[in-house]
A and B are shown apart, each in its own frame.
Chain A
Amino acid sequence: MSEESWQIRVVHSTGYHYASPATQSYNEARLTPRSDRRQSVVATRIETTPATRAYRYTDYWGTVVTSFDLHAPHTEFTVLATSVVETNEATEPIRDASWRDLRSDAVIDEHTEYLETTKYTPRDRELASVARELRKGRDPTGTALAISQWVHDQLTYRPGSTGVHSTATDAWRAREGVCQDYVHVTLVMLRAIGIPARYVSGYLHTRPSAALGETVQGESHAWVDVWTGGWWAHDPTNAIGVGPRHVWVATGRDYADVAPLKGIFTGGAKSHLDVSVELTRLA
C-alpha cells in the first residue's frame, strides 16, 4: 500500500458523565485540524449532545477553537469531533541552521516562546546535561534526532503512569509516561541547548498496513516540531519521522496551550470522562 499519501477519517468522542446534574458548563475544544503543506483538511465538524450553539475563533497560536456553553441541567455531555484529512508523505528534517545561527539574537527573539521553560517543561539539570552530551559532534538537526531517539529509549510507554498534570521532570523521574510526557521531556532537552521546539497535538494511525475502510481504535497523540532554519516534526514516542499516518491539530509551548478540551461547570458533583478516537484510512 502506498506510503505517500493517506486520507484518514478521525472520529474523536469525549463524554462527560456527572453523578448529579451539572447546571451550567462552558467549554473550549481544540479539535479542528487545519490545512498546511503537510496535510489538507477535506471536512471537519464538531457536534455536541445535548446540542449547543458553537462559536469558533482562532487563538494566539493559530489553533481553531470551538467554544460552547450549556445551561440546561445535564448528567451527560458528549463532544464529537469528526475530520477527514489528506496527509502527505514524510518530510526530511531541515538542516538550515548552525549552532551559531541558533545563538543569534534574531533567532532567539523570534522564537523566544519556544525556548523558555513552562509549567510542563521546567528546567531540569540532568536532562540539560544529557542534551549537552548529545550535542557533541552533531549539528542541531542531528542533535534533535539524537535527543528524540534517546527519550524514546529511556522512557517506557505506560498509559496511566502519569496524569494530565505531570511535568517533564515527573515523567523523567518515573522513566515512564505517555506521548505527552515523551514530548515534554524532549522539549526540555531541546530548549536547554537553544533549539526552538514546540508541542504538537494530533492523531496517529497506528497500523501502517491498515486496509482501506478498516477502523482502528486510536488515541490523541503528540509529537514535537523542531526549528533548525525551518520547522520540521519528529515523533519521540515512536522515534519515527512524521508522515502520512500523523494528523496534526494544534501547536503551542506545551500541553496547556493545546489541551483538546477545557472547560468549567457548576453543579454536577464528580464527573468522569470517557474518550474514544477512531481512525479509518479512507484512501
Chain B
Amino acid sequence: MGTMNNSSAPRLPPAGRRARSARARTNGRPGAQFDGYLWPGRPFPTAYDEMFDGDGVVRSPYRALYESIAGMDSADLTARAAALDRAMVDQGITFSLSGQERPLGLDLVPRVIPAAEWSKLERGVAQRVRALEAFLADIYGDAQILADGVLPRRLLTSCKHFHREAFGVNPPNGVRIHVAGVDLVRDEEGSFRVLEDNLRNPSGVSYVMENRRTMARVFPDLFAKHRVRPVGDYSTHLLRSLRAAAAPNVADPTVVVLTPGIHNSAYFEHSLLARQMGVELVEGRDLFCRDNIVYVRTTEGERAVDVIYRRIDDEFLDPVHFRPDSVLGVAGVLNAARAGNVVIANAVGNGIGDDKLIYTYVPEMVRYYLGEKPLLPNVDTYRCWLPDELDHVLRHLDELVIKPVEGSGGYGIVFGPTASQRELAALRRRIRTERRDWIAQPVVQLSTVPSKVEGKVAPRHVDLRPFAVNDGKDIFVLPGGLTRVALPEGSLMVNSSQGGGSKDTWVLAARSSSAERELASPALAETSTVDGLAVEQGPELSTEQQQQQQQQQSSQ
C-alpha cells in the first residue's frame, strides 16, 4: 500500500481510451469496467478526473481503490450496488424529487481526498467561516464594512435575506454560523473553488454519516486498505457547539432540534441529529414563549429551552416578526433571543451570506476582517448589477452559466451553451430589468470521479459540500462532506433536486498521523441516548401546516 513508485503505477488499459463498444465482453479482463472511461469523444473531456491523470495513470490516492474495482467482475459490481441501494432503502433515507420520495442514490465508488489536500481545504473553509462570522456580526451591528465602502450599502439593503428584525440580536458567544455548508467544485486544473456558501440551514450531513455506514457494511475490504477518517462523530461536535452557544450562566443548557415536521424532506436528518445528540426533536407547537423565555412542553410540565437548533426558514420562525400566518414557528422567539434568553442556531438573517452577489465580495471580507489572503478562490463571477460586467454577460450569454442570486437546488439556472435562442432572448430581457437578481459564471467543467453506470464505470461530475461547525473557539470541518454526483452523462447539475446521487467521501489520514480511522475498531458506535422526557404532542396538523412544512428550503 502506497509504496509503489510511479513507474509501477497502475494505468488505464488501452480499451479505456476507446469508445465503448456495445458488444464488448467485459467479464474476466481486469479493468474492463473502465472501458471507454477516457474516450476523447466524451462530454467535457478537459474536466479534471480525480482518478486518472491525462495519460491514464492512476493518481496515487486512488491506486488501491482502482485495483480493487478493476479486480471485481461485473456481476460482483452489480451485486454490491444492489446491496447499497437495499441498505439505503432499509435505513429509510429518501429525499423527495418532485414530490416523490426516493432514495438518494449512493454511488458505489467512493471519492478519495488525500490528507494534504484536505488540510488545505479545511483551513480554507474555516477561514471563510471566520470571515463570514465577522461580516454577519458587523452587518447586524454597526456595519463598519459599509461605512468603509468595501461593499456598497445598497447591495445589502436590497438583499431579500437581509433581516432588519435581526439587528441588535447578539448571541452570547458571538457565533451565528453554528453550521456552514460551503459548496466547492474543482476546476479543469484540479483546484478547489467555492461555488456558494450555505449559512442558513445547510442540509445533507445525514447522508454523509449514513453513506459511510452503508459503505462500511458493503465494502469492509476497501476500508481495510485505506486509512479513512471517520465522520460518525459529527453530532458530538454539533452538540458541543450548540451547548457552547448558550449563555454562560446556564450550567447545563437544554438544546432542542426544531423541525418543520414529518412532511419536510429533510425530516430524516432532523430526527437523526436529535437522536444522536440525545436532545428533543420538537415542532413549533411543542414550544412557546412567555416573557421572552422559550419553553418546551413535556409530560413533566414546561421546561426552559436555552438553544434551538432550528431547521425552519427565517420567514416561518416567528410570526410576530415574519410571516404572521406561519404555523411552524414560535411566536416571540426572536425577542427571546434578543433578550439573551435563548440562542437560535443558525442565527436569523444569515441568508445575506448566501446571496450570490454578496458571495463575490467574500474574498474582500477575508482581507478586510482577517487581514489574510483568501485560501480558497471563488468561481469567477460576473455581476449583472455592475454595468461593465452586465455588458460582458449580455455579449457572452451563450457561453456562460446564468444563475439567480438567491435560491438553491439548481432552480432557475440557465446553461448558456445549451439554451435555445428563445430562452436566451427571454433571459436577456429578464436580466436587464432584474439586474440585482442575476450573476453569471463561466461553465466550470466540474471534476469527474468514476461512478457506476449500468454495469460499467464512467466519469461523472461531482461537487463537494464540507460541513463546518463553529463552537466559538474552533471551527471543526467534518473530514469528508457530501459529494454530490450528476448521474446523467455530461450533466453538470449535481443538486439532488435535479436528480443527482451522492458518494461516500473519504478523507485519508496522513500516514504519520495518529488520527482515528474508520473501521479501526470493530463497531461503528451509534449513540442513541434519548433523554427520558417524551415531548407532549400538540394538536394535529392542518393542511396548511403540512404545506408550510414542505415549503421549507430543504434542499439548501
A contact set with B: CB distance below 8 Å: 24, 26, 28, 53, 55, 57-61, 67, 69, 71, 108-110, 112-113, 116, 262-264
- Find out whether the CB atom of A109 lies under 8 angstroms from the CB atom of B153: yes
- Find out whether the CB atom of A263 lies under 8 angstroms from the CB atom of B320: yes
> Could you tell me the distance between the alpha carbons of A237 and B339 in the complex, rounded to whole angstroms?
39
**Contacts A112-B157, A263-B320, A264-B320 given: A55-B335 contact, CB under 8 Å?**
yes
- Find out whether the CB atom of A57 lies under 8 angstroms from the CB atom of B338: yes
- Find out whether the CB atom of A55 lies under 8 angstroms from the CB atom of B292: yes
In the complex, what's the smallest C-beta–C-beta distance from A22 to chain B, in angstroms?
A: 13
**Of B167, B289, B319, which is within 8 A of A69 by CB?**
B289
- Name the residue on A nearest B334 (C-beta): A67
In the complex, what's the smallest C-beta–C-beta distance from A227 to chain B, in angstroms?
A: 14
Residues of A within 8 A of B335 (CB): 55, 57, 67
In the complex, what's the smallest C-beta–C-beta distance from B138 to chain A, in angstroms?
A: 14
- Find out whether the CB atom of B338 lies under 8 angstroms from the CB atom of A112: no
**Of A28, A57, A61, A108, which is within 8 A of B320 by CB?**
A28
> Could you tell me the distance between the alpha carbons of A28 and B338 in the complex, rounded to whole angstroms?
14
- Find out whether the CB atom of A60 lies under 8 angstroms from the CB atom of B164: yes
Residues of A within 8 A of B168 (CB): 57-60
- Find out whether the CB atom of B320 lies under 8 angstroms from the CB atom of A26: yes
> Could you tell me the distance between the alpha carbons of A24 and B164 in the complex, rounded to whole angstroms?
25
- Name the residue on B nearest A58 (C-beta): B168
- Name the residue on B nearest A65 (C-beta): B335
Interface residues of B in 254-298 (CB under 8 A from A): 288-292
- Find out whether the CB atom of A112 lies under 8 angstroms from the CB atom of B153: yes
18 contacts between A and B (CB under 8 A): A24-B331, A26-B331, A26-B332, A53-B291, A57-B168, A57-B335, A57-B339, A58-B168, A59-B167, A61-B164, A67-B292, A67-B332, A69-B332, A109-B152, A110-B153, A116-B157, A264-B324, A264-B331
Q: A67-B332, A264-B319 are in contact. List 18 more A-B contacts (CB 8 A).
A: A24-B331, A26-B289, A55-B291, A55-B339, A57-B338, A59-B165, A60-B165, A61-B164, A67-B320, A67-B335, A69-B289, A69-B291, A69-B332, A109-B154, A110-B153, A112-B154, A112-B158, A264-B324
- Name the residue on A nearest B336 (C-beta): A55
Residues of A within 8 A of B158 (CB): 112, 116
In the complex, what's the smallest C-beta–C-beta distance from A30 to chain B, in angstroms?
A: 13
- Find out whether the CB atom of A71 lies under 8 angstroms from the CB atom of B320: no
- Find out whether the CB atom of A69 lies under 8 angstroms from the CB atom of B324: no
Consensus secondary structure, chain B interface: loop
> Could you tell me the distance between the alpha carbons of A28 and B160 in the complex, rounded to whole angstroms?
23
- Find out whether the CB atom of A69 lies under 8 angstroms from the CB atom of B154: no
In the complex, what's the smallest C-beta–C-beta distance from A72 to chain B, in angstroms?
A: 11
Interface string of B145-183 (1 = CB under 8 A from A): 000000011100110000011011000000000000000
Residues of A within 8 A of B324 (CB): 264
Residues of B within 8 A of A59 (CB): 164-165, 167-168
- Name the residue on B nearest A27 (C-beta): B320
Residues of A within 8 A of B165 (CB): 59-60
Residues of B within 8 A of A67 (CB): 292, 320, 332, 335
- Name the residue on B nearest A70 (C-beta): B290
Residues of B within 8 A of A28 (CB): 320
Residues of B within 8 A of A69 (CB): 289-291, 331-332
- Find out whether the CB atom of A60 lies under 8 angstroms from the CB atom of B319: no
Residues of A within 8 A of B157 (CB): 112-113, 116
> Could you tell me the distance between the alpha carbons of A71 and B292 in the complex, rounded to whole angstroms?
12
- Find out whether the CB atom of A60 lies under 8 angstroms from the CB atom of B167: yes
> Could you tell me the distance between the alpha carbons of A128 and B453 in the complex, rounded to whole angstroms?
61
> Could you tell me the distance between the alpha carbons of A67 and B153 in the complex, rounded to whole angstroms?
29
> Could you tell me the distance between the alpha carbons of A241 and B82 in the complex, rounded to whole angstroms?
80
> Could you tell me the distance between the alpha carbons of A138 and B165 in the complex, rounded to whole angstroms?
39
Residues of B within 8 A of A108 (CB): 154
> Could you tell me the distance between the alpha carbons of A68 and B165 in the complex, rounded to whole angstroms?
16
Interface residues of B in 325-358 (CB under 8 A from A): 331-332, 335, 338-339
Residues of A within 8 A of B331 (CB): 24, 26, 69, 264
Residues of B within 8 A of A55 (CB): 291-292, 335, 339
Output the residue of A61, A71, A108, A264 with the most chain B CB within 10 A.
A264
> Could you tell me the distance between the alpha carbons of A61 and B167 in the complex, rounded to whole angstroms?
9
Residues of B within 8 A of A57 (CB): 168, 335, 338-339
In the complex, what's the smallest C-beta–C-beta distance from B538 to chain A, in angstroms?
A: 13
> Could you tell me the distance between the alpha carbons of A61 and B157 in the complex, rounded to whole angstroms?
13
